[in-house]
Amino acid sequence: MDATVLDRSIPELAGLVTRGEVSAEEVTKASLDRITRRDGALGAFLTVQAEEALSAARAVDQKRARGEALGPLAGVPIGIKDALCTRDAPTTAGSRILLRPASKGEATLDPRRGFRPPYDATVVARLREADAVLVGKTNLDEFAMGSSNENSAFFPTKNPWDPSRIPGGSSGGSAVAVAAGLALGALGSDTGGSIRQPAALTGTVGIKPTYGRVSRYGLIAFASSLDQVGPFAADVRSAARLLGVIAGRDPHDQTSLGAPVAAYEEACGRDVRGMRIGVPEEYFAKGLEPAVEKSVREALAGLASLGCELRPVRLPHTRYAVATYYVLATAEASSNLARYDGVRFGARAEGAESLGALYAKTRGEGFGREVARRIVLGTYVLSSGYYDAYYLRAQRVRTLIRRDFEEVFREVDVIAAPVSPTVAFPLGERVDDPLAMYLADIYTLPASLAGVPALSVPCAPTPATNSVPSLPVGLQLVGPPLEEARLCALAAAWEGISPARGLRPKVSEA
Amino acid sequence: MSPAPEGPATLAEDEVRSLARLANLDLPDAEIRRLTGDLGRILAYVRQLEELDVTGIEPTAHVELGFGAEGAAGRPGAPSVEPTRVELRADEPHESLPHEIALREAPRTSMDGFAVPGFVEED
């Protein structure tokens, strides 16, 4: 089997499988084989469900043999962020606290002993219904808290463009699974940038849909007013197809929206002439690396060459987004993570003599440093005496940030900006400086707080120097609520003329 | 209106210890010390929110499209897709999780239930 079938787009590959030009089983074997040869050095997957994937692939092939119509993801290998529940398959959220206790002789830290959910997340069920093949669960920062994937309790994921660098986070494993050609698509979750930032740093396309566009049922909750599931793929059309499959109302998630799902993939061919693009000056301020700025400015010029009209706009509350986010997200997290207590599932500390001690010991041992930090910060901002000063104030500032976007979207159709102020940074560079890590999210947090859709599409990578190789840069496109199709149209038009088009990292094989 | 926080700009180690206790986190002293420093720096940064006058600004707990005056529909530049109102699910009985599945992942079970250390004082 020629592994280059994995370098096709999702619509192409699903077409090949649907027409019987390649079997889903062959594609799945190619994907599993690449994971075996490439992922040892990258760490994109926490667990691989080889048997289940092969049997799902055979079921797709049999369905075709019986003459039944196949779904839009027929035979497409997909990675699933390990914050999403997969029925009976290990689900860890990147945390020790979701590991079943080890028996004698078992390794203490093995993601294969992860919690086995009794149900599929709605997005996972929808992928299966669309005849996708789920190959494994991808690595992440513990409970999706982080911007580098270094907070995984198991191992850090490496960037395939330069394995001494981080891939971004928290959905870093999903981004790398796609960037390294291990799977054609992946699902991630984005609370403050966790899809867009790793997409930018790995040269993939990642979409954070409008809050409520995609069901959160079965997504392990971090900050419920911000969490959103979205796709990764190597190109815009592929990501658009995935989004079309997972989007839509779900009776299991009261916040999921009933608005009709737009034709995202069809939008990818749409003419973008005359589109008004807002360029917010606050996103080109101090802290933006010159090489990143140059690449993004070139992309803006590219949009102008497509007939779009560029307009300077102001989002004056941008500078408060990091502070606002780290109050609200930690408050919600401290509440959501209260459920991990060593009683009903996951890990349990040994030797506790009272129920209170059991909770505290299990949680103290089970959560990593960043998660504990956020739980304590969240507990503080919600505590009486500080609630008004921090939590309520941050909620009011969130309103100001939303209004910034509402104002700007009266004048422009889309906002274009950088995703991350820097390229992928070296592993270990920021692990001891949480604030520096949080500031990496400055350009992605505002759209999360406003609940509006945003995506990252590659623009020109930075030029290689003597010490640093060429690294990917993302262009962020932000739209009004439910305008994912508009973002797909613009991203696809840009992709058609982007110098990053078709660029793939050279991944070494074992 | 919320007054400016009267708490200290940085947290004391004892405060962090009691916050950790409130959050049911048993952390070693070295971690408490580290956390005290980290939280102090983060809170000092967060306090820039005090620069803003938020008098009369409604808090956003949750972005709900199509609700209230803040909804995007009907505004210039509003989405071409009309967001629909979130509807409540029908209140119908469903089959619940089978007992053995609910217990399957528990670290310890006893008599068809989750087992925990005794929490009633016994002599």
Tens of pLDDT along chain A (510 residues) come to 577 899 999 999 999 999 999 999 999 999 999 999 999 999 999 999 999 999 999 999 999 999 999 999 999 999 999 999 999 999 999 999 999 988 888 888 999 999 999 999 999 999 999 999 999 999 999 999 999 999 999 999 999 999 999 999 999 999 999 999 999 999 999 999 999 999 999 999 999 999 999 999 999 999 999 999 999 999 999 999 999 999 999 999 989 998 999 999 999 999 999 999 999 999 998 899 999 999 999 999 999 999 999 999 999 999 999 999 999 999 999 999 999 999 999 999 999 999 999 999 999 999 999 999 999 999 999 998 899 999 999 999 999 999 999 999 999 999 999 999 999 999 999 998 988 888 889 999 999 999 999 999 999 999 999 999 999 999 999 999 999 999 999 999 999 999 999 999 999 998
A307: alpha, beta or left, given left = phi > 0 and alpha = psi -120 to 50?
Answer: left
A214 forms bridges with which residues in the sheet? A247
Contact between A84 and A18 (Cβ < 8 Å): no
- C-alpha triplet B65, A420, A211: angle, nearest 5°: 15
Separation of alpha carbons A206 and A190, rounded Å = 10
CB-count exposure of residue A465 (10 Å: 0-12, 13-18, 19+): exposed
State how far the alpha carbon of A462 is from the alpha carbons of A179, A333, A430, A465, in Å: 17, 36, 21, 9
Q: What is the mean pLDDT of residues B51-67?
A: 84
Put simply, the answer to whether B81 touches A434 (Cβ < 8 Å) is: no
Helix (H, G, I), strand (E, B) or coil at A91: strand
B117 in A contact zone (CB under 8 Å) = yes
Residue A13 main-chain phi, psi, to 5 deg: -65, -45
Separation of alpha carbons B100 and B89, rounded Å = 27
Put simply, the answer to whether A323 touches B48 (Cβ < 8 Å) is: yes
Contact between A113 and A100 (Cβ < 8 Å): yes
Partner residue opposite B25 with nearest CB, options A327, A364, A395: A364
pTM comes to: 0.95
Sort strands A205-208 and A276-280 into parallel, antiparallel or unpaired. Answer: unpaired
What's the gap in Å between the CA of B67 and the closest CA on chain A? 12
Six token digits for residue A257? 């929206």
Partner residue opposite B49 with nearest CB, options A251, A343, A394: A394
Smallest CA-to-CA distance from A226 within A197, A191, A184 is with A191
B12 contacts on A by Cβ (under 8 Å): none
Q: Is pLDDT at B6 greater than 80 in this prediction?
A: no
Partner residue opposite A399 with nearest CB, options B42, B57, B97: B57
| Single-letter amino acid, residue A250 | D
Query: Is the omega angle on the peptide bond into residue A194 within 30 degrees of 0, that is, cis?
Result: no
What's the gap in Å between the CA of B12 and the closest CA on chain A? 12
Six token digits for residue A329? 């997200």
Put simply, the answer to whether A345 touches B77 (Cβ < 8 Å) is: no
State ipTM.
0.92
Separation of alpha carbons B64 and A258, rounded Å = 12
Contact between A74 and A18 (Cβ < 8 Å): yes
B77 in A contact zone (CB under 8 Å) = yes
What's the gap in Å between the CA of B95 and the closest CA on chain A? 14
- Exposure string for A425-463, b = 16+ CB within 10 A, e = fewer: bebeebbeebeebbbbbbbbbbbbbbbbbbbbbbbbbbe
Active-site residues of A: which are they?
Answer: 81, 170, 194
Residue B87 pLDDT: 66
A278 forms bridges with which residues in the sheet? A311, A415
Place of tokens 């004048």: A411
Separation of alpha carbons A362 and B50, rounded Å = 37
State how far the alpha carbon of A116 is from the alpha carbons of A135, A333, A340, A342, in Å: 16, 22, 15, 15
Smallest CA-to-CA distance from A187 within A88, A91, A61, A51 is with A91
Put simply, the answer to whether B81 touches A385 (Cβ < 8 Å) is: no
State how far the alpha carbon of A452 is from the alpha carbons of A192, A334, A403, B41, B72, in Å: 12, 24, 12, 30, 11
What's the gap in Å between the CA of B75 and the closest CA on chain A? 8
Residue B9 pLDDT: 57
Q: Is pLDDT at B60 greater than 80 in this prediction?
A: yes
Nearest residue of B to residue A276 by CA position? B77
Six token digits for residue A307? 């007939």
B99 in A contact zone (CB under 8 Å) = no
Six token digits for residue B79? 């989405």
